[in-house]
């Protein structure tokens, strides 16, 4: 299949990008207030990083979002 051969030429780039998206962003700053961020929500658009107060406020109306905590 031509599409797979074309993709194979770029597979390392795709893998690098996927791995970068899984790791914590630099710097670890809240997307809203710029305090230290420890929470990320993959369900929110842009997968933002949050501090505790901003995470609580943003997810008050989104109880089914799957929030991740960075330690």
- Span 25-60, pLDDT tens digits: 778 899 999 999 999 999 999 889 999 999 999 999
What span, in angstroms and rounded, lies between the C-alpha atoms of 64 and 71?
Answer: 22
Paired residues of 29 in beta bridges: 36
DSSP assignment of 26-37: SS-B-TTT-SB-
Burial 41-61 (b: 16+ CB within 10 A, else e): beebeeebbbbeebbeebbee
pLDDT at position 70 is 81
pLDDT of residue 52: 95
pLDDT for residue 67 is more than 90: yes
Q: For position 20, what pLDDT does the model report?
A: 83
């Amino acid at each position: 299949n031509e599409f797979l051969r074309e993709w194979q030429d770029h597979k390392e780039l795709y893998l690098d990008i996927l791995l970068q998206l899984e790791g914590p962003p630099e710097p670890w700053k809240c997307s809203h207030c710029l305090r230290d961020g420890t929470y990320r929500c993959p369900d929110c658009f842009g997968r933002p990083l949050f501090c505790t107060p901003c995470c609580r406020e943003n997810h008050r109306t989104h109880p089914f979002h799957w929030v991740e905590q960075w330690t």
